[in-house]
Amino acid sequence: MSLLEPLSHAFAAIAATAHSGLVSLGANPASGTTWLLCIAAVVVVVRVALLPLVVHGVRLAHASARARPMLTDLTERFRNRTDPESRREFLAERRRISAEHGMSRLGCLSVLVQLPIWLALYRLMADVAAGVPVGSMNLELVSALGAATLLGVPLAERGYLGVGVAHLAVVAGLAGTAAVLAYVTQKYLVAPNTVLAGVPDAMVQAQHLMPAISAVGLLVAGGVVPVALLAYWVINATWTLGQSAVVWRWFPTPGSPAALRAAGR
């Protein structure tokens, strides 16, 4: 059993429960709308569960931004001091500054925890769209998903080219929407809330390219993944946009362009 399997089964249980609830309210079990709502339910439950990690990440970014000037000054003071005693003093002072500002040595923990979650979600969507049962998403539910359509295009279909113009319009529309949402989030919400002072030029350049890379990547992937997964990406990207907007507006990173804007400078 892989690490992703228990997660995929947990997400499958959420989708199956949402489907059962909607059907009990009179929804068509094989309707595209029903399955889109099930996918949305998975996204909402997962993203709400991840909010503590988001809060941790925001706090860590603020702590790092506040400590950065002191750490930069410390590095300059010890730049030409390479003897063991100076090195010990440098490390001790760095630990003191980090502790004073609440910086954690486990800063990347939230990212590492979230990675298998996103991989498991991808695996679940890809498997059920391919007709493979996963946990509570038994063969009956998988068959219902396979019969579901969005504007006449099966949720299990994949690729830009299919039967008729409607297929291209739906797939391109979903992929394009996900790409636009990712671009806007990275360009206008994440980038302005990032402090790049003292960051190596290569990382600055990568940061500037990230919006375009994200958008192009989604457009390319849109040609090979199932429509159900594209729908998931759109819903998830919408949540990310809203979440990033909240952070950008009310919890900007100190020293970032977003924080300067909030201060009216």
All structural domains of the chain with their residue ranges = 1-147, 156-265
- Mean residue pLDDT of the chain comes to 89
pTM: 0.88
- The pLDDT assigned to 2 comes to 73
Q: How confident is the model at residue 130 (pLDDT cuts 50, 70, 90)?
A: confident
pLDDT at residue number 232? 94
Look at 18-27, 87-96, 179-188 and tell me which has the smallest mean pLDDT: 87-96
pLDDT greater than 60 at residue 1 = no
Q: Check residue 97 and give its pLDDT.
A: 85
Q: Which residues pair with 153 in a beta bridge?
A: 150
Residue 132: what residue type? V
Residue 87's alpha-carbon distances to 43, 77, 80, 91, 132, in angstroms, are 47, 12, 11, 6, 57
Q: Is the pLDDT of residue 187 over 90?
A: yes
- The radius of gyration of the chain from alpha carbons, rounded to an integer in Å, stands at 23
Residue 17 has phi, psi (to 5 degrees) of -65, -45
Confidence (pLDDT) at 109: 65
What pLDDT is stored for residue 105 in this prediction? 63
> Taking 70 as the threshold, does the pLDDT of residue 88 lie above it?
yes
pLDDT beyond 60 at 133 = yes
Q: Identify which of 8, 128, 109, 127 has the alpha carbon closest to the alpha carbon of residue 50.
A: 109
| Alpha-carbon gap, residue 105 to 90, rounded angstroms | 17
pLDDT value of residue 162: 78
Q: What is the pLDDT of residues 159-168, one digit of tens each?
A: 898 778 889 9
Nearest alpha carbon to residue 47 among 2, 11, 96: 11
Structure tokens at 220: 């390319």
Contact assessment for residue 142 and residue 132, using Cβ atoms and an 8 Å cutoff: yes
Q: Is the pLDDT of residue 77 over 80?
A: yes
Q: How far apart (Å, rounded) are the C-alpha atoms in residues 193 and 152?
A: 41
Is residue 31 scored above 90 in pLDDT? Answer: yes
- More confident: 105 or 5: 5
Band of residue 67 on the pLDDT scale cut at 50, 70, 90? confident
Confidence of residue 48 (pLDDT cuts 50, 70, 90): very high
Question: pLDDT tier at 107 (50, 70, 90 boundaries)?
Answer: low
